[in-house]
Amino acid sequence: MTARPSNFRIYRPKVAFELSLLLPKAADGGTYLEPGRLFASMAAGVAREKYNWAGALRLCLTAGELGELLTGLDGAEVSIIHDPGAGTQAKGAVVKAMKVRRGDDGRMMVSMGSKANGGPWASAGTVGLSPSELATVRELIRAAIPVLLGWVA
């Protein structure tokens, strides 16, 4: 049995942010059938130290998108937009976004939100990263990229 990697969470009173790793799927013989993914999630606080993880907004990020996020964590403003229905009749039914930018206080801010059927954007929340959280998130993303691609033995 292969151990599943632990999730990394950052908690704030009104919102929590999570990174979770989905390992690549391999066939017998070591051929990779499907690359892994990193899920970024934002959950609303519902009570003291309780969060609505079942209703969290989740984005499934590719290795390429993680490279984009690294540039954002280094100071550039980055937005990643997902339309799960792109290329189908459901195009635009749900659009999800993640944004990384420098806040007024100098900290890097991670925001997530969504909109449905062309309606207004609904914020899932924003988390300002402390210097130690920023360092941890950077290292986790850097370590995840080769894992997602199956480049780690």
Average pLDDT, the chain: 90
pLDDT at 30 (0 to 100): 66
pLDDT reported for residue 151 = 83
Q: Does 1 have pLDDT greater than 60?
A: no
Contact 138, 53 (CB under 8 A): no
For residues 8-28, give the mean pLDDT. Answer: 90
pTM, to two decimals: 0.88
Residue with tokens 């984005």: 59
Given a cut of 90, whether residue 4 has pLDDT beyond it is no
Q: What is the pLDDT of residues 19-60, one digit of tens each?
A: 999 988 877 766 767 888 999 999 999 998 899 999 999 999
- Higher-pLDDT residue of 135 and 150 is 135
The stretch 121-137 carries a mean pLDDT of 94
Where in the chain are the domains? 8-148
Q: What one-letter code names the amino acid at 58?
A: R
Q: CATH top-level class for 8-148? A: mainly beta
User: Would you say residue 153 has pLDDT above 80?
Assistant: no
Integer Cα distance of 107 and 97 in angstroms:
20
pLDDT one-digit tens code per residue, 74-125: 888 999 999 988 888 888 889 999 999 999 998 999 999 999 988 899 999 9
Percent of the chain exceeding pLDDT 70 equals 93
